[in-house]
Amino acid sequence: MPDATPEHTLLTPGPTPIHPRAMQALTRPMLGHMDPEVFALNREIQADLRVMYGTEESTFTALLAGTGSLGMEASFANLVEAGDEVLVCANGSFGRRMAEMAARYGARVRLVTAPLGEAINPDAVAAHLDGVRMVAVVHGETSTGVLNPVPEIARLVRQSGALLTVDAVTTAGMEPFHMAEWGVDFAYTGAQKCLSAPPGLAPVAISERAFARFAARRAPTPLWYCDFEGLRDYWEDHSYHHTVPVNLHYALHAALRAALDEGLENRQRRVQEVGAAIQTALAPLGFTSYVRRPEDRLPTVLALRLPEGFDDAGVRTALRERHISVTGGLGPTAGLIWRLGLMGETARPAPYLTLMHALEDILG
Ligand code: PLP
């Protein structure tokens, strides 16, 4: 591989281009993970994560040293014990990943599904809550571009007494997310998505109810690395648990600050505006929304049905030769849709103008 990668236009639903402030932060001199300066930085990260997730002052937030999937795994590893009934909303590949993980930690998994391209119906959740200890749902299902109705699902789950885990990988930091108001117990995302930080960290928020469930476990979690107690030892008591990737903390801190400086509502507006402009620009070429109901559309991942007879693989290869990455469908939607990312630094007019010019050139 050459030393310098040419300028690249990354329009995928993650990773996103690294925010310039995060890129600069990566070059800061290395400090030890037990350095007081790092603990001060971590405290700022925790406070900013509380704002991003819309939590209460007392809610514990932290970074896990891994990608978004580690956030997902930490939830099941800490909050599920063998034989627990866990209801998983699975209307895409990330919902199914949750079900797979829950089962590996011994859960008896109940699935609530929806046809591809449709959101989970809260009534279907309500019908299966009896005896359930935990509910898990993906807020924005990246594989289909569907936004699930988390506030409505959360209301039902709260009434049932079960815990609620929400995958906020495509939403937190770019879409409304109100953990305290909705009653979410565990939320996670990946640094490389809406925050445009480098991959390798999973920001999480854990409610007091979740800690109480954890404290009542019959046996320690099998996942030592993300044991809630171990996380607290490091993030609150400043005692060694494992060596956190300090340089990634610098970058995430800078990206998160940039997001809050911009303002979460301004970011939501930016996604809407750029998304509408892309759809207007692509409509004359024959691209249409894959997700039928407008209220089910995930603003940060535009799932667009390809025009009749469109050479998906050929056009994406031609784009890649021009250093532009676009993601197609996954599994049953391969060859049927494109999934255009609108997270973090991808939700800007300039990269999409680059795409439009390239498409004009390729399609003639
Ligand atoms: N959940 C959702 C909704 C995702 O889109 C992704 C990744 O694309 C993940 C979980 C897994 O995240 P990672 O690939 O960072 O492990």
Instruction: Give the H or E element holding residue 260.
Output: helix 246-262
Q: For every one of its 364 residues, what pLDDT tens digit does the chain have, with 9 covering 90 and above?
A: 666 677 899 999 999 999 999 999 999 999 999 999 999 999 999 999 999 999 989 999 999 999 999 999 999 999 999 999 999 999 999 999 999 999 999 999 999 999 999 999 999 999 999 999 999 999 999 999 999 999 999 999 999 999 999 999 999 999 999 999 999 999 999 999 999 999 999 999 999 999 999 999 999 999 999 999 999 999 999 999 999 999 999 999 999 999 999 999 999 999 999 999 999 999 999 999 999 999 999 999 999 999 999 999 999 999 999 999 999 999 899 999 999 999 999 999 999 999 999 999 999 8
Residue 69 Cα to ligand 1 midpoint, Å, equals: 6
- pLDDT for position 21: 98
Distance (Å, rounded) from C-alpha 186 to C-alpha 25? 28
The residue type of 212 is A
Distance (Å, rounded) from C-alpha 187 to C-alpha 99? 16
Mutate to test the pocket of ligand 1, among 148, 169, 302 (most ligand atoms within 8 A of CB): 169
Q: What is the ipTM of this complex?
A: 0.99
- pLDDT for position 1: 60
Q: Could you report how far apart the first and last alpha carbons of the chain are, in Å?
A: 32
Which tokens go with 94?
Answer: 């990330």
Measured in degrees and rounded to the nearest 5, phi and psi for residue 297 equal: -80, 130
Distance (Å, rounded) from C-alpha 40 to C-alpha 120? 41
Residue 167 Cα to ligand 1 midpoint, Å, equals: 9
Site residues for ligand 1, CB cut-off 6 Å: 14, 67-69, 72, 94, 138, 142, 167, 169-170, 190
The residue type of 301 is V
297 has which bridge partners? 146
Residue 244 Cα to ligand 1 midpoint, Å, equals: 21
Which of 204, 197, 203, 205 is closest to 258 using CA atoms?
197
